[in-house]
Amino acid sequence: MQEKRAEMDKRLSSEAISVLEVPVHDQHSTYPEPFASMIKGRTKRRLGDFFNLSNFGVNLTHLEPGAISALRHSHSKQDEFIYILEGNPTLHTDDGKSKLTPGMCAGFMAGSGNGHQLINESDKEVIYLEIGDRTPGDTGSYPDDDLQAAMTESGWQFSHKDGTPY
């Protein structure tokens, strides 16, 4: 029902809206367990989809205290970009951890192999914009976990690092 409402709310015109008018996407993480449960406290509004954009996605993402953006990962073909709007997330990459503030940004070039994630280690909510394209044939690498991902026509397909399916 909420899905239906979101669909109806989609703008076919180019009328601007406040980002908070976009419904929270209620789909849970597509990770297999035990990883899916680690994504509690993360909510996304799919701003780009709301305007029927298909070449890239723009999400407004909230992280409650303790929540993470994703498992630490890198993409083979898709670029990613984040812009911090509110709060102080910790960016964790191969280069270590650093505390971010509003007005900071980072880009994660496809194929760099540098795994990244945001962690809300603060006691206040974190809000940021995340942007990613939709280049087909993408794969995801997870340096800290026994997980790998391949984008298929039906979505992300996850397996153990030795190829065994979950």
Q: Is 162 in the site for a second copy (CB under 8 A)?
A: no
Alpha-carbon 115 to chain mean position: 13
DSSP H or E segment with residue 6 = helix 2-9
Q: What is the 3-state secondary structure (H, E, C) of 54-96?
A: CCEEEEEEEECCCCECCCCEEECCCCEEEEEEECCCEEEECCE
User: Min. distance of Cβ 119 from a second copy in angstroms?
Assistant: 13
Do the Cβ atoms of 72 and 146 come closer than 8 Å? no
Q: Is 6 in the site for a second copy (CB under 8 A)?
A: no
Residues in 108-137 that interact with a second copy by CB under 8 A: 108-110, 112, 114, 116, 129, 131, 133, 135
How many residues contact a second copy, by CB under 8 A?
A: 46
Residue 158's contacts (CB-CB under 8 Å, 6 or more residues apart) are 30, 31, 32, 147, 148, 149, 165, 166
Q: State which residue, 79 or 121, has the beta carbon closest to a second copy.
A: 79
User: Min. distance of Cβ 1 from a second copy in angstroms?
Assistant: 24
Q: Is 16 in the site for a second copy (CB under 8 A)?
A: yes
Q: What does the binding site for a second copy look like in residue numbers (CB under 8 A)?
A: 11, 13-20, 47-48, 50-56, 58, 78-79, 81-83, 91, 93-95, 98, 100-101, 103-110, 112, 114, 116, 129, 131, 133, 135
